[in-house]
C-alpha cells in the first residue's frame, strides 16, 4: 500500500493566510484558484485580501447550503477553472464548510484527471471530518455523497478562529463526529468531550481536542485509504444517520449532518447491544447524553419502511446486505455487521419511543 499518497499535511495554525502564502509560492502566478461560498466570502475572505491580490488569485463564490452540493455546482467550478487557464500544475484552495470542501475537492480531483487542492475548513464538522481523509463527493438522486472520489488534499489548514462565527447547531453538528471518533478508538477522547463545556466554548483548548479527533480519523485513513476494511469504523452512526438525513430532505424538514449521525448512533448503539454484547447500561447512558445534546428527530412507524429502503442504498453495503459498523465497547468495533430487517425495525421503534 502506498501510504505516502494517502496522507495530507494537517496544519494547525493561528495564521492561515501565512500558511497559504507559503503553499501558493510553490505554484506559478495565475495558476492558484480559490473556491468558496457566500457566507465565508462575506465573513472571512476580506482577511485574506492581501494574499489574494499578491498571488493574483481568481475566485469563484458558490451559494451556501447542502442543496447546492450537486453536479451543477461542480460544472460551475470546472467552467471557472477552464475559462481561467487552470492546468494540471494548478492549485485549488477550498475555503468553507464540509459541503464546500467535499464539492470543490470533487471538482479539483476530476478536472484534467486531478489537480492539487488545499482545504481550509471553516466549520467544526469540516475540520474534524469532511475536509480530512481524502473523500470528496456530491449528492445525487436524493442520496448523500452518492458520487465522489478518493483524493487527498495536499494540505488541510485548521484554525479555530473560523468557528467563532458558526452558529451553535453547526458547532454541535461537528461535535457529533468527534463523539463518534471517541467511541471507535479512544475512551480518553470520549471523556474529554464529555467534560467539554458546550455552553461556554473555549476555542484555545478546543484546538488540541480537534487535533486528537483528527489523529483518530487519520489513523483509520492511513491504514485503509480506500475503505476496504477498518476505515469502515468511521461509519458508526452513518448507515442509520444518512437514512435520517435523506428522509428529512424528502420530507422538507432538513437536518444538519451531525445531528443525523447522533441519532444514527443511538439506533446503532441499540443494534450493538443486541448483536455485539455492548453493555446495555452504558449504551443507555450514552443515548441519554446524545439526546440531551441533539434532541430527537420525530419519526413514525409509517417512516420505517422508507428509512430501511434508504439504508439499502448505503455505499458500504455488499451483496444486498445492509452493513453496519457496531461496537462491543468503546474502541472495539465490528465492521460489516449485517442486521436483519426485523432487528433494524426494532431499533427504529426503540428510537421513535425515546
**Residue partners of 264: CB distance under 8 A and separation at least 6:** 237, 238, 239, 240, 241, 242, 243, 244
Given a cut of 60, whether residue 287 has pLDDT beyond it is yes
pLDDT at 143: 80
Among the candidates 134, 166, 198, a domain finishes at: 166
Number of residues that make up the chain: 354
Q: pLDDT tens across 121-178, in order?
A: 999 999 999 888 889 999 998 887 889 999 999 999 999 999 999 999 999 999 999 9
Among the candidates 149, 166, 183, a domain finishes at: 166
pTM of the complete model: 0.90
Residues 152 and 185 in one domain: no
Residues 36 and 77 in one domain: yes
Residues 161 and 277 in one domain: no
Residues 220 and 154 in one domain: no
Among the candidates 126, 150, 166, a domain finishes at: 166
Residues 122 and 255 in one domain: no
**Residue 110 belongs to a domain with what CATH number?**
3.40.50.1970
Residues 298 and 151 in one domain: no
Q: Summarize the confidence of residues 210-216 as an average pLDDT.
A: 96
β partners of residue 221:
none
Residues 150 and 260 in one domain: no
Q: Tell me the C-alpha distance between 233 and 133, whole Å.
A: 13
Provide the number of structural domains found in the chain: 2
**Residue 218 belongs to a domain with what CATH number?**
1.20.1090.10
Read off the pLDDT band of 227 (50, 70, 90).
confident
Q: pLDDT tens across 289-347, in order?
A: 999 999 999 999 999 999 999 999 876 676 668 989 999 999 999 999 999 999 999 99
Read off the pLDDT band of 15 (50, 70, 90).
very high
Mean pLDDT, rounded, of the chain: 93
Residues 8 and 59 in one domain: yes
The Cβ of residue 141 has, within 10 Å, a number of other Cβ atoms equal to 7
Q: Tell me the C-alpha distance between 129 and 174, whole Å.
A: 8
Q: Which domain holds residue 27?
A: 3-166
Given a cut of 60, whether residue 22 has pLDDT beyond it is yes
Phi, psi of 236 (to 5 degrees): -50, 130
Given a cut of 90, whether residue 3 has pLDDT beyond it is no
Residues 241 and 340 in one domain: yes
Nearest to residue 128, comparing CAs of 51, 71, 69, 185? Answer: 185
The answer to whether 96 and 134 have CB atoms below 8 angstroms apart is no
User: What is the radius of gyration, based on Cα positions, of the chain?
Assistant: 20
Residues 184 and 314 in one domain: yes
DSSP three-state, residue 73 = helix
Amino acid at each position: 500500500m502506498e501510504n505516502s499518497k494517502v496522507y495530507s499535511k494537517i496544519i494547525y495554525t493561528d495564521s492561515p493566510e501565512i500558511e497559504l502564502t507559503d503553499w501558493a509560492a510553490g505554484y506559478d502566478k495565475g495558476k492558484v484558484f480559490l473556491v468558496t461560498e457566500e457566507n465565508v466570502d462575506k465573513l472571512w475572505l476580506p482577511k485574506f485580501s492581501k494574499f489574494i491580490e499578491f498571488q493574483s488569485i481568481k475566485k469563484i463564490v458558490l451559494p451556501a447550503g447542502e442543496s447546492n452540493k450537486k453536479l451543477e455546482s461542480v460544472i460551475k467550478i470546472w467552467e471557472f477553472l477552464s475559462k481561467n487557464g487552470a492546468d494540471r500544475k494548478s492549485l485549488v484552495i477550498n475555503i468553507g464548510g464540509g459541503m464546500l470542501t467535499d464539492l470543490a475537492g470533487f471538482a479539483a480531483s476530476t478536472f484534467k484527471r486531478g489537480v492539487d487542492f488545499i482545504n481550509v475548513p471553516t466549520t467544526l464538522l469540516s475540520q474534524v471530518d469532511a475536509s480530512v481523509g481524502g473523500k470528496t463527493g456530491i449528492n445525487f438522486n436524493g442520496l448523500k455523497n452518492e458520487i465522489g472520489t478518493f483524493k487527498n488534499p495536499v494540505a488541510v489548514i485548521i484554525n479555530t478562529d473560523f468557528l467563532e462565527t458558526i452558529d451553535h447547531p453547526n458547532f454541535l453538528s461537528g461535535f457529533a463526529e468527534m463523539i463518534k471518533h471517541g467511541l471507535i478508538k479512544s475512551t480518553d477522547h470520549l471523556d474529554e468531550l464529555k467534560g467539554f463545556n458546550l455552553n461556554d466554548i473555549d476555542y484555545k483548548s478546543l484546538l488540541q481536542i480537534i487535533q486528537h479527533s483528527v489523529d483518530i480519523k487519520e489513523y483509520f485513513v492511513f491504514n485503509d485509504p480506500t475503505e476496504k476494511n477498518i476505515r469502515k469504523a468511521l461509519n458508526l452512526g452513518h448507515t442509520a444517520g444518512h437514512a435520517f438525513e435523506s428522509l428529512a430532505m424528502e420530507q422538507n424538514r432538513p437536518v444538519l449532518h451531525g445531528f443525523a449521525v447522533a441519532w444514527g448512533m443511538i439506533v446503532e448503539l441499540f443494534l450493538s447491544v443486541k448483536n455485539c454484547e455492548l453493555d446495555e447500561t452504558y449504551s443507555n447512558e450514552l443515548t441519554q447524553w446524545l439526546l440531551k445534546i441533539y434532541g430527537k428527530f420525530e419519526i413514525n412507524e409509517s417512516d420505517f419502511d422508507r428509512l430501511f429502503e434508504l439504508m439499502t442504498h448505503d455505499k458500504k453495503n455488499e451483496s444486498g446486505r445492509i452493513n453496519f459498523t457496531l461496537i462491543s465497547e468503546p474502541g472495539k468495533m465490528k465492521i460489516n455487521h449485517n442486521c436483519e430487517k426485523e432487528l433494524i425495525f426494532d431499533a427504529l421503534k426503540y428510537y421513535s419511543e425515546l
